[in-house]
Structure 1
Amino acid sequence: MLWDDARVFLAVARKGTLTAAARLSGGGVATVSRRVDRLEAALGVPLFVRHQTGYRLTDEGEALLPKAEALEHAAQAFEHQAAQESGVAGPVRLATAENLANPIIIPSLPALLNRHPQLELEIATDVASVNLHRRDADLALRMVKPTRGNVSVRRLATLGFGLYGSSRYLETRERSADSGPLDNDSFIGWSEAQSHLPAAQWIARSLRNRAPALTTTTLSAQLQAASAGLGLAILPHFLARDAGLQRLPVELGVDQAIWLVIHSDLAQSRRVRAVADHLVTVIHSLRARLSGED
C-alpha cells in the first residue's frame, strides 16, 4: 500500500464523503475516487459501501483501518525527524493582509519559530506592491486568486463580512418610515484607491450619491471608526465581534476566499514548506471563526 493511497483511504473513512475527504487530503474529488478504486483493485477487496449519503467502511475496510493508521503515524514520525535533521533555516518572506497578520498569523508564530529556530521570517502587509512572480515574496495569503504567474494556489478558508456599527451608533441612528432601511445611515467608506474592493462598491451603491461620513485606506481604521460610533462599516465578522460591534441583518454578498499562493520554484523548499504547512494548520483551525459561523 502506498502512503498516498493510505492517506486518501483514511480521509474517506474519517469524513464519509468524497468531497469532505478531498478537502482534508488537499486533492480533488476525482483524484480521491480514483485512488480509492485503485486501492480496492490492488487489494482485491471492497473497502467501502457506496451510498447516496456517503461512504461506509466494509468489514475488510475496518480490518485495514489500524494498518493505515500505523502508516500514518510512521509517516508523521518520519516527517518530524526529517524536519529536525534538515535544520529548516533561512529567510522566508510572507505577504499577507494586515487584518490576517496582526490578529491571527503573528500570535501563532511562537510555535513555528520554536520548532524551527533558524527560520528567518519576514511578513509584508503592503500586499499591493508585492508580486510573487517577481520574487517580491516567497508565499502569500491573499483574498484575490491569482490568474497568472508561476505560482501554485490553494484555497484555505472563507473570510466572511457583515455590516457593523457600535451599540452607541445603533441606539441613536435615525429611522424614517418614508425612506429605505439604510437611507439615513452614515457609512465609513474607502478612498478612491480602494474603490475596487467589493465592500467599497457595496457602500458606494448604498450611499446613492451621498458622501460617506469618513473614508479610510485601511481596514484597521475602518474598525476604529465604527467603534467610535462614526457610522456603519463592512468588516470581517471575527474582527467586528472581537471589537464588540453589532451586526445589522443585511446580506452583503462580499465574502472573500483566503488563498495560499506559493511561487512554484519554491514549493519544495523546506523553509517555505514549513511556513506554508504552518499557515494551513492555523487557517484551517480557525475556519468557522473566519467565516463567521462560530
Structure 2
Amino acid sequence: MNTVDNGKEISKIGNKLIDVLVWDDIRAFLAVARVGTLSGAARQMGLGLATVSRRIERLEAAVGQPLFLRQQSGYRLTDDGTALVERAEEMEAAALSLSSGLPQEATVSGTVRLATAENLATGLILPELARLRAEYPELTLEIVTDIATVNLHRRDADIALRMVKPERGNVTLQRLGTLGYGLYGAPGYVVARSEAMDASAFDADDFIGWSDTYASLPAAQWIERMLKGRTPAITTTSLATQITACATGLGLAVLPHFLARPHDLTCLDPDIGIDQSIWLVTQSDLAQSRRVRVVADFLRDLVKQHGAALSG
C-alpha cells in the first residue's frame, strides 16, 4: 500500500513502528526529512552516507513502505513518509524529555545566544522571559534580532527561532508551528475604502511597503504584486513602524496576526498565502548542553502555548 487512507494507515504504520522501533533509524529519518538530502543529514548527524542510507532502508523495511522518493535534487517524502513525521517528532520529543529528566547538576548557568526575528523577540519571547529567569536566575539569554547577519554555521549563535529553514550547517532542526499573516487596515481606513471602492479589489488602495533592503520578504513581494507598478504610500524597515503606519490610516499592511490583533486593526484577508513555518535551530554539538536544552524547551513551550494566536 502506497497511500494513506483517511488516517487509518497512519495508525497502522505507527503501531507497527512501535513494535520494531530502532531509535537511530528514527533520528536518521527525521534528519533526512528536515534537510532533504542524504549528505546533509549525514553531516548533521556526524555519520557517513552509507550509515544514514542503511538506517533509512532499515526503517522502510520495518514499516513495509517507501518513505522517500529518491530524486537527483534530493529526498522527498512520500505520503507514508509525511504521515510518519508527526509520530517521529513525538518520539523525538519524548526522548528529549526523558534525557532532560535524568539526574543533572542542580544549577543551570551561563549564557545562551539566541538569534530570532524582532517580531518574535518583542511579541512572543520577551513578554514571557520573566518566568524563565525566575526558574533559572543564573542563566543569561542574549537575544540577537539582526538575524540577517547571524549564521549558526559560523557559531554566531547557539540557538535560533526563525522563519527561514537553514539549508546548510551542522545544526538540528525542528518545526514548531506556523506564523500566519493577513492584510490589515485601520478601522477608519477600511470603512472609507468600502464606501468608495470595490472592497474585493485593491487597485486604488494605499499600501505600506518595505524598503528595497527587505524586498525578499514574502510580505514585501505580496505587496509589490498588489501595487502593480504603483508607488507605496510609505516604506519602512521594521514591523513596529508598519503597525504604527497602518494604525494611523496611511494604508493597508501585511502583518503577522499575533502582532496586528492587539492593535485593533481590521483584517481584510486572514489568509493571503504567505504563512511561514517557525523553526527551532540548534547547534548540533550544543544540543545536549543543559543550558541550551532549557532555552529550547522554553521556546517549544512558548510556540505551543501561543500556537493559535501565531497561526491566526
The TM-score, its normalising length taken from structure 1, stands at 0.72
Matched, 1:175 2:211: no
Pick the aligned partner of 1:240 from 260, 266, 282. Answer: 260
Deviation at 1:231, TM superposition (A): 0.3
Residue by residue over 1:246-265, the C-alpha shift from the partner in whole angstroms, topping out at 9 and shown as x without a partner, is 01136411100000000111
Per the alignment, do residues 18 and 88 of structure 1 end up closer, same or farther by CA in structure 2, a change over 3 Å counting?
A: farther
Query: Pairwise mapping of residues 214-253 of structure 1 onto structure 2 (< 5 A)?
Result: 214-249=234-269, 251-253=271-273
Pick the aligned partner of 1:272 from 283, 288, 292. Answer: 292
Matched, 1:118 2:138: yes
Per the alignment, residue 213 of structure 1 pairs with: 233
Per the alignment, do residues 127 and 157 of structure 1 end up closer, same or farther by CA in structure 2, a change over 3 Å counting?
A: same
Matched, 1:92 2:112: yes
Pick the aligned partner of 1:36 from 11, 15, 18. Answer: 18
Per the alignment, residue 44 of structure 2 pairs with: none
Aligned counterparts of 1:17 and 1:282: Cα–Cα separation in 2: 31
CA contact (8 A) 1:157 1:284 kept: yes
Per the alignment, do residues 129 and 17 of structure 1 end up closer, same or farther by CA in structure 2, a change over 3 Å counting?
A: farther
Aligned counterparts of 1:124 and 1:18: Cα–Cα separation in 2: 44
Matched, 1:288 2:308: yes
Deviation at 1:108, TM superposition (A): 1.3
Per the alignment, residue 47 of structure 1 pairs with: none
Amino acid at match of 2:282: I
Aligned counterparts of 2:149 and 2:184: Cα–Cα separation in 1: 29
Per the alignment, do residues 281 and 251 of structure 1 end up closer, same or farther by CA in structure 2, a change over 3 Å counting?
A: closer
Deviation at 1:227, TM superposition (A): 0.6
Matched, 1:188 2:200: no
* Runs of at least 5 residues in structure 1 that lack an aligned partner in the other structure: 1-15, 22-28, 40-71
CA contact (8 A) 1:213 1:230 kept: yes
Per the alignment, residue 156 of structure 1 pairs with: 176
Deviation at 1:82, TM superposition (A): 3.3
Deviation at 1:213, TM superposition (A): 0.2
CA RMSD of aligned residues (A): 2.5
Per the alignment, residue 34 of structure 2 pairs with: none
CA contact (8 A) 1:18 1:33 kept: no
Residue by residue over 1:122-157, the C-alpha shift from the partner in whole angstroms, topping out at 9 and shown as x without a partner, is 101111111111111100000100011111110000
Amino acid at match of 1:137: A
Per the alignment, residue 220 of structure 2 pairs with: 200
Identity of aligned residues (%): 54
Residue by residue over 1:95-136, the C-alpha shift from the partner in whole angstroms, topping out at 9 and shown as x without a partner, is 111111112111211221221111111101111111111111
Query: Pairwise mapping of residues 2-151 of structure 1 onto structure 2 (< 5 A)?
Result: 32-38=14-20, 79=100, 82-83=103-104, 85-151=105-171
Per the alignment, residue 278 of structure 2 pairs with: 258
Per the alignment, do residues 249 and 120 of structure 1 end up closer, same or farther by CA in structure 2, a change over 3 Å counting?
A: closer
Per the alignment, do residues 281 and 233 of structure 1 end up closer, same or farther by CA in structure 2, a change over 3 Å counting?
A: same
Aligned counterparts of 2:197 and 2:309: Cα–Cα separation in 1: 35
CA contact (8 A) 2:258 2:310 kept: yes
Deviation at 1:180, TM superposition (A): 6.9
Aligned counterparts of 1:82 and 1:285: Cα–Cα separation in 2: 27
Computing the radius of gyration over CA atoms, which structure comes out larger, 1 or 2?
1
SS at match of 2:196: coil
Deviation at 1:176, TM superposition (A): 3.8
CA contact (8 A) 2:181 2:270 kept: no
Aligned counterparts of 1:107 and 1:133: Cα–Cα separation in 2: 29
Per the alignment, do residues 274 and 251 of structure 1 end up closer, same or farther by CA in structure 2, a change over 3 Å counting?
A: closer
SS at match of 2:269: coil
Aligned counterparts of 2:240 and 2:269: Cα–Cα separation in 1: 23
Deviation at 1:79, TM superposition (A): 4.5
